[in-house]
A and B are shown apart, each in its own frame.
Chain A
Amino acid sequence: MDLTELGDRVARVAEEHATRTDRDAVFPAEALAELRATRLLGLLVPVEHGGLGGTTEDVVDLGIRLGRADMSVAMIFTMHCQQVAAVVRHAAEPLRSQLLGRLGQGQEYLASVTTEAGKGGHLLSAEAALHGDGSRLHVDRFAPIVTGGAHADGFLITMRSPDAESPNEVSLVYAHRDQLDVSGSGDWQPMGMRASHSIPLKLVGSVPAHQVIGQHGKFPEISTTIFAPMAHLGWSATWLGTAAGALSRVLRLLRGPEGRKRFDVGSELLLTRLSRARQRLDGVHALLRRATDTVRDALDLSVPNHQLLLNALKITAAEQCHAAVQDLIDAVGLRHGYLKDSPTRLEQALRDLRSASLNYSNDRLHLADGRLALLDPEVRLV
């Protein structure tokens, strides 16, 4: 079965439950079950480990497809793929075969535990430290935001390396839910992305020493080569899909019998607004494809012009996808732009997309980009 069909299956389930999961701010359990059943959870797992052997481009395609149906489901999927990519590239035996086997069967949904109180989302430092006694690593970690944490089968957790001399020595460790005492705290009542169920979690337990992903202290490298690029590509695909789905529903409304009665499709204002929304999405799409190719082909993603391209993708997608939905709300007005029960679902798309510039803050990325720009005085465009 081809990936488009599998994506359509998950999208149908996501769409069926989207109104309820948004209203109740609950995790899309049915869509996750379909991601398991289709084995899309093992998309990036190599065929020899029982996975679908997919590529980064496939993650992007499916992120867009699922985003058209439900932004939270798309985000949950692409973030899981980011975790799987790190396992595929860096996990060592015996963890590698065990975990990839389960992932390939769709038995393992991985959540990311990188946030920590007091470090402002700074990925490359960690306060809570792993303690090792030779054969085991002890985990005691609080994270303020863990997307899907209540439903995850396993976690990839950043922590300060054992015996680290500074908070900048960070390791990535895998823990299965059964190896941890997982306790939640606090309520989840956000403006949008309500089905992402991104809750605070406390994780306590111990794992065999071989469950470190890559070597101790190697997280910065995993971040530059996998976590950051996969996050930017996955999020941007998710946002683009959300805005594309919104535009598509608006266009179907305008072309349908009710729409043709209600709207004047000869209106220059309406046409211009539709044009602007479409223009924004084509711009983001081109940037997304270019960045996907760069991640596939680049020998060293740490060079400033590659970093700048990836950051520009994230910033641009966050701004333009949100702006496109704003355009559409103005285009169709109160009834179909502002009411929850409109088939355009613009109201939810706008709330969901409002998170895009905050999710790994655009403000902070601009500061990084300013510094990176100074390191590329020749301005070598990718």
Chain B
Amino acid sequence: MDPRFTELLAPFLKFGKDKQITPESNLRALGLDSMRSIELLFAIEDTYGISLPDDEMTDATFATAGSLWHAITAQLPDETGART
């Protein structure tokens, strides 16, 4: 995952302080609720200049850091972001 992404994610995870964010990190358990999901979505779209499709607005997309990153990379122009 892009370090820019984990940095962007951190402030939305109120129970994630001092924890390493990995693709398996459970976002809901770390404090991402539905209100913060919207703010996170806006932050992602601003940072990467992309728009996540309506079809991706599911619990599965926002389940883990890895699943969300996967949805982002699918929208990046030439998939510059490494998926790891």
Residues of chain A touching chain B, judged by Cβ–Cβ distance below 8 Å, are 124, 164-169, 217, 220-221, 224, 300, 302-304, 368, 371-372, 374-378, 380
Contacts and interface: CB of A to CB of B under 8 A. Distances in A.
B59 A376 contact: no
Contacts of A303: 55, 57-58
Nearest to A165: B15
A300 B60 CA distance: 9
A300 B58 CA distance: 8
A169 B29 contact: yes
Contacts of B54: 304, 375-378, 380
Given A375-B38, A375-B54, A224 B59 contact: yes
Contact of B29 (A217, A221, A371): A217
B58 A168 contact: no
A82 B26 CA distance: 27
Nearest to A306: B58
B10 interface: no
Interface in B1-60: 15, 19, 26, 28-31, 33-35, 37-38, 41, 54-55, 57-60
A225 to B, nearest CB: 9
B59 A302 contact: yes
28 contacts: A124-B33, A165-B29, A165-B30, A166-B29, A166-B30, A167-B15, A168-B15, A168-B28, A168-B29, A168-B30, A168-B31, A168-B33, A169-B26, A217-B26, A220-B59, A221-B59, A300-B58, A302-B58, A302-B59, A302-B60, A371-B34, A371-B35, A371-B37, A371-B38, A372-B34, A375-B54, A376-B54, A377-B54
Interface in B41-84: 41, 54-55, 57-60
B38 to A, nearest CB: 5
Contacts of B37: 371
Given A165-B15, A372-B34, 5 more contacts: A166-B30, A167-B15, A374-B38, A375-B57, A376-B57
Contacts, number: 53
A26 B12 CA distance: 46
B28 A220 contact: yes
The 6 closest A-B pairs by CB, nearest first: A166-B15, A302-B59, A375-B57, A169-B29, A302-B58, A168-B29
A168 B33 CA distance: 9
Contacts of A376: 54, 57
Contacts of A224: 59
Nearest to B30: A166
Contacts of B19: 165
Contacts of B57: 303-304, 375-376
Contacts of A368: 34
A2 to B, nearest CB: 38
A124 B31 CA distance: 11
B47 to A, nearest CB: 18
Contacts of B30: 165-166, 168
A293 B35 CA distance: 28
Contacts of B55: 303
